[in-house]
Chains A and B, each alone.
Chain A
Amino acid sequence: MSERPSTPRRLAHAARLALLGAGALAISACAQDAPQDTWAPEGENAQTIHNLQWPIFLVAGIVGVIVMAVVLYAVIKFKDRGQPIPEQSHGNPIIEYTFIALPAAILAVIAGFTVNTIFDLAETQDTECVINVTGQQWWWEYDYPVAADGSICGYTPSNAAAVPLITSGQVIIPTDTKVLIRGTSRDVIHSFWIPKLNGKRDMVPGRVHTWRFHADGPGIYAGQCTEFCGLSHANMRMEMIALDPDDFQAWLDNQLEPYQSPEAGTLAAAGEVTYVSQCARCHQVDGLVDGNGDPIVSAPDQWVYSGAAPNLTNFMTRNTFAGASWDLLTPACRDEVWNASPEDFGAAYLKGVTPECLNEIDLKEWLRDAPAKKPMYADATALLETDGKVRGMPNLGLSEDQINELVAYLLERK
């Protein structure tokens, strides 16, 4: 029978374990590639939150250390060593009132700054750009309303009259602009969170919630839904793309370019036919017309529970798909965009997806069997409660030829 280790050895062992745990925690806090780091604000709203949370963590840390030290001191100092029980007394008004007043005062100060921050973040009067945001299982839709002067976010299109833009996955904003999103949901509660630009805001069906955003510089700001919203909640991501003014103007002009059909006889032209027969019932491509010249209008409300599917008019100008869960760019091209300097970022992003940079593997897997790639309730025959309407994109049973055609067609949606 082995001998039990002595007390000093056990203490040393415990200390080593504690040190190891603390080291692991410290190392995990040093991640370099952390696009959703809540401690690295890159906009004035996130900075407002940071200015509040940093001192609170500091105070809470100091209080925590003091409490732990006192507890440890009491445990060690007054450990039962067989000494007589000290005199028992009850009630010391000075100590009791102090220990009530001190935390109350600390909490009152924190509450004061917190309430002030809440009001600052709820401000809407200084808005320079409004974007409507609608969440649904499991992606985000963005539409840009047109202002009375014909501008969108303060920018007037140079090539066409402004009409409301609609996109998904990536929301584009101009840098150094006070952006207000007006968010809601089409099905269940979602929550919009871009940690480097602001905190979380729930999006509740039937209600409209406002939330401010501001990006100091150009770049991609990643986020994700933070309210559990069903099977693919973890795959409901979003990216806010901040572009410098000239780049935002270029993006805006490009979005309003009229639709161009693929050249006859090409693979993309065949893809247009496949798109109309297989995809257009849910997905809208603005400008696409039928043989009579009438616009082809999608009807996602008849097939999808949320009543919406992503608009694909300028699909290849954004570089993610399926709720921003997968990149449309190959890893090398993706890194070029993500790691571009602020000066070069706009040009890198506005290139969109070129044939050389297309991440065909993921896109084709998606077209081949979307529910296999992203968990969704996409079997209409098993959805009695939604009257056969799917949640997410179903498996369309496309042939490889059809998939190739569609990819060629989508590549031209810029």
Chain B
Amino acid sequence: MITTGSKLLVGSAVAAGLLALIYGVANGGALGTIGLISAAAGLALLAGISTYGRDANVSAMDTDAFESSAAAQASATPSLWPLLIAVGATAMALGLASLPALFILGAIIVTAGALEWLVQGWSERASAERGYNSHARNFLIDPLEIPIAAAIVFGIVAYSFSRVMLGLPSKSSTVIGFSIVSALVLAIGAVVGVKRGASKTALTGTFGLATVALIAGGTVAGVNGEREIEVHKTTAYYAARGECGAEEVSADEKASQTVAGKSNVAAEVIFDGTTLTWTAPGFVPTVEGAAPLTLPRSNPNNVMFRNESGGEARLVIGMNPRLDDNGQPVGPEQICTALAKEGGVQFLTLIFDLPSFATDEGYEFAVPGTDATLEVVVP
């Protein structure tokens, strides 16, 4: 007697084998073919084990074994998993016509539903004892189900919370809101810790309500959208517009690009109001300051501009970009920092296409509106 589970596995193995054949011939994709052949081999192995190890060889003459074998038990109870699979399949169909993300979500739902249904169907007929069947199901699926469910719930809660924080009208209100929430969590935790006799129902209800409220708040906030958050301009922004003159739209201390880059700059260029000097680890600024700054070619060079003059200033450099076949520059012709306030710093990332000797004028840092310059040598 071949069980339903064995039939399912045999069918799956055959299907995987056929798909491998079709995919291999039609697409010629080695990776997919290998995956499908592996699946077919794995499923065939499981089918073999199931057929051999389960109750396939129960003799009809052995009445006790025949009546108590798992395959002889009643069919699996009705299940809701097919409903979920149907939802997933619908999402996949819609996704094909609209959003790829919806298709992927549908595929995940279908896979999860099919897996759950498969395990349920198998476990309910694993033996003649319902208690053991239930234990077998939990033993197999809990290690998957519980972490995934926890991750989904955590993800929803975290996403909802972030929507609420981003939806609040100002940065100050997010600080206040976060403080209130964290204080509440701390207070509830303290109460639970002190009152060890708190009922499970009350706790579940409280956390359930809080979760629902958070998700509702996150949904509302998500629909309303984020508050307006100022985008700080980067050097690329100014380079693209050629806005590297002495005049400026706004002096912004936060227009730098990365924090990490600041900690490992190639050099720090200092403007004292009349001259530009530079310093870097290993160089003594008073001696080296007058020397050209050497920077490598074809590599991002992070340079910090420190404005120690009495007013606002910015650092500008002509980049001598390579020309394309039509004689047009392939990169910005000059780039600059945002305007740095008195005592402020700005950050600049430079990539040189050509060595200095291949350009007519070489490379030179300058501060618009002043005569301050600093030679840069690209070997």
What range describes how many residues of B lie at the interface? 20 to 34
Task: Assess whether B245 is interfacial by the CB under 8 Å rule.
Answer: no
| CB-based contact B282/A147 at 8 Å | no
B300: Cβ under 8 A from any A Cβ? yes
Interface string of B280-308 (1 = CB under 8 A from A): 11111001111111101111101000000
Asked whether A164 and B261 contact (CB < 8 A) given A141-B296, A205-B300, the answer is no
Q: Does B189 contact A (CB under 8 A)?
A: no
Q: In the complex where A143-B296, A208-B266, A307-B299 touch, is A164 in contact with B288 (Cβ < 8 A)? A: no
Say whether, besides A148-B288, A210-B282, A164 and B379 are in contact (CB < 8 Å). yes
Contact partners of B264 in chain A: CB under 8 A: 204, 206-209
A286-B357 contact in complex given A143-B294, A163-B379, C-beta closer than 8 Å: yes
Which of A141, A164, A210, A300 is B294 in contact with, Cβ under 8 Å?
A: A164
B265 contacts chain A at the CB level, 8 A cutoff: yes
- Return chain B residues, CB-CB under 8 Å to A180: 281-282
Q: A15–B138 Cα gap in the complex (Å)?
A: 50
A184-218 vs B: 1/0 string, CB under 8 Å?
10100000000000000000111111100000000
> B184 at the A/B interface (Cβ < 8 Å)?
no
Which chain A residues border B377 with CB–CB below 8 Å?
145-146, 163-164
B235: min CB distance to chain A, Å: 14
Asked whether, in the complex, the Cβ of A206 is within 8 Å of the Cβ of B302, the reply is yes
A284 at interface, CB cutoff 8 A: yes
Residues B300 and A206 in contact, CB atoms below 8 Å apart = yes
B355 within 8 Å of A (CB atoms): yes
**Residue-by-residue, is B345-379 near A (CB-CB < 8 Å gives 1, otherwise 0)?**
00000000111011000000000000000000101
Q: Which residues of B contact A204 (CB under 8 A)?
A: 264
Number of interface residues of A (CB under 8 A): 39
What is the number of contacts between chain A and chain B, taking CB atoms within 8 Å? Answer: 93
- Interface stretch, picked from A54-62, A127-135, A223-231, is A127-135
Known A-B contacts A148-B290, A207-B261, A207-B264; the reply to A134 vs B322 at CB < 8 A is no
- Give the residues in chain B near A209, CB-CB below 8 Å: 264
Report if A411 contacts B (CB, 8 A).
Answer: no
Collect the chain B residues with CB atoms within 8 Å of residue A130's CB: 282-283
By a CB distance below 8 angstroms, the chain A residues around B288 are 147-148
Chain A residue nearest to B302 in the complex (CB): A206
Residue A295 lies at the interface, judged by CB distance under 8 Å to chain B: yes
Q: Does A380 contact B (CB under 8 A)?
A: no
Say whether B80 faces chain A, with CB atoms less than 8 Å apart. no
Q: Considering the complex, give the chain B residue whose CB is closest to the CB of A129.
A: B282
Question: Quick check: B287 and A147 within 8 Å, CB to CB?
Answer: yes
Chain A residues closer than 8 Å to B144, beta-carbon distance:
none
Give 29 pairs: A residue, B residue, CB < 8 Å, sorted on A.
A125-B284, A130-B283, A132-B296, A145-B291, A145-B292, A146-B291, A146-B292, A147-B287, A148-B288, A148-B291, A149-B287, A163-B377, A163-B379, A165-B379, A166-B379, A180-B281, A180-B282, A206-B260, A209-B264, A284-B355, A286-B357, A295-B358, A297-B357, A297-B358, A301-B353, A306-B298, A307-B297, A308-B298, A308-B299
Mark B residues whose CB is within 8 Å of A: 260-261, 263-266, 280-284, 287-294, 296-300, 302, 322, 353-355, 357-358, 377, 379
Sorted nearest first, the 8 A-B pairs with minimum C-beta distance are A307-B298, A145-B294, A207-B264, A148-B291, A180-B282, A164-B379, A297-B358, A127-B282
